[in-house]
Each structure stands twice: as C-alpha cells, then as structure tokens.
Amino acid sequence: MSLAIFDLDNTLLSTDSDHAWGEFLLEQGAVDPVAYREANDRFLADYEAGTLDIHAFLKVALRPLAEHSPEQLAAWHQQFMASKIEPHVLSKGEELVARHRARGDTLLIVTATNRFITGPIAERLGIDELIAVEPEVSDGRYTGRATGIPSYREGKVERLDAWLVDKDLTLDDSWFYSDSHNDLALLERVEHPVAVDPDPSLREVAEARGWKIISLRD
C-alpha cells in the first residue's frame, strides 16, 4: 500500500477554494466590499508569485470566521459548495483518486487552505485524510486565529512528517500531485512527484527533472 497525496486548489479543483470563499463572502455582503476584495486578490497574486506572507494572509482570511456564528457559517458553506466548488470538481481528478483508491493506497489531501473550507470538500471527494491550516476554536466559535504550523510551502513537509509518525506510515512508493511551485519542497520528498496542469515555474522544474506532467482539465 502506497501513500497518494493530493494538493487541492487548481489540482483536484479547477479553482482556488480560498479565493473562491472570499468571493462568496463578498457576494453575501459579509465582508467589506472594497478592502476585503483588494486583500483577497492581492494575497492570491502573492501566492502565485511565491511571495505570500502566510501569517498576514491568515489574519485576514480567518477573521470572517470569528465574526459570524457557526450556524451562519455552516449555512453559507452549503451554498458555497453548490455554487463555487461543485462546478469546479474535475472529473479526471475524481478518476485519478478512484484509481489510487482501487490500488488500496492511502489517500491524503495536503492544502494551504484552512480546514473550515476544505473539510467538506475532502469529504465530497471521498478522501478521509486531510492536512490543512487549522483555525482555532474556543467555546464553540472560531477565534480568527490559526493553530500550529500552517501547511504552506515547507510547512506542508513539517505537517506531513508529523502526520506520518502519527499514522506509522512512510513515503516509500509515495505520490504527490500538485499544480504549484509553492509545493516544490513536498514534491521533492516523494518517490513519484507529478505536476498537474503546472504553473510556469513548476513546469520548468518538472521538465528539467524529468517529472511526470499531466492535465486533469477537460
């Protein structure tokens, strides 16, 4: 049995779920229409450029979770799944996951997006194991802060290493599928790195190193 690791945004999905959640909140009138949109777009550009300050981003991205009740957030997330996520679930991505499942592989999503957003998405994809940014909860409500190491860039490797120890698993014959140069540190750790519809920087590295390059887009 091998470990099959998947990035989520722009890999198994044809969208960035973090940015899409921000757009959804704007549509609901739940956040400042000018300042939040500017920040949401700027942080996405920083991520794509590999210059994202993850802590500054999380300070903004997690604040709306603290500003609304768990009941309102749950209702919004159901709408978000239907309008912003379901249309972007890639059928070829689902087929890829199904092939690894049929092999008996352990399936894991590792994402820099927070668990509030991605937990239901992983469930929709039938993937039980998830490493994500962990929003802090106190007295049943989100605080607007994150706990632990953010699963971003080298943080993905640190979180995965701890997860492997906890699960008593190794990276022998492991796979990792990602679209982003931000995931180079983790791609370098697995036996089978796969660039999925890669950004220009990752494509250049993948071609130079002879990594497999695939597309899951229709």
Mean per-residue pLDDT, 140-166: 98
Domain that holds residue 193: 3-214
Query: What pLDDT score was predicted for residue 1?
Result: 79
Number of domains composing the chain: 1
Residue 113 has pLDDT above 90, yes or no: yes
Mean per-residue pLDDT, 34-52: 95
Identify the CATH number of the domain in which residue 8 sits: 3.40.50.1000
Query: What pLDDT score was predicted for residue 16?
Result: 97
Whether 9 is a known active-site residue: answer yes
Residue 218 has pLDDT above 80, yes or no: no
Please state, for a pLDDT cut of 70, what percent of the chain lies above it. 100
Query: What pLDDT score was predicted for residue 96?
Result: 98
Residue 59 CB contacts under 8 Å (≥ 6 apart), including other chains: 144
Mean per-residue pLDDT, 116-127: 98
Backbone angles phi, psi at 130, to 5 degrees: -140, 130
Residue 154 has pLDDT above 80, yes or no: yes
Say whether 132 sits in a helix, a strand or coil.
strand
Residue with tokens 């049943």: 140
Residue with tokens 């794509």: 48
Measured between alpha carbons, how far is residue 193 from residues 60, 94, 184 in Å?
Answer: 32, 18, 9
Mean per-residue pLDDT, 59-87: 97
Give 169's pLDDT tier (boundaries 50, 70, 90).
Answer: very high
Task: Give the pairing of strands 212-214 and 106-114.
Answer: unpaired
Residue 146 has pLDDT above 80, yes or no: yes
DSSP 8-state secondary structure symbol assigned to residue 175: E
Of the residues 9, 16, 18, 179, which is catalytic? 9
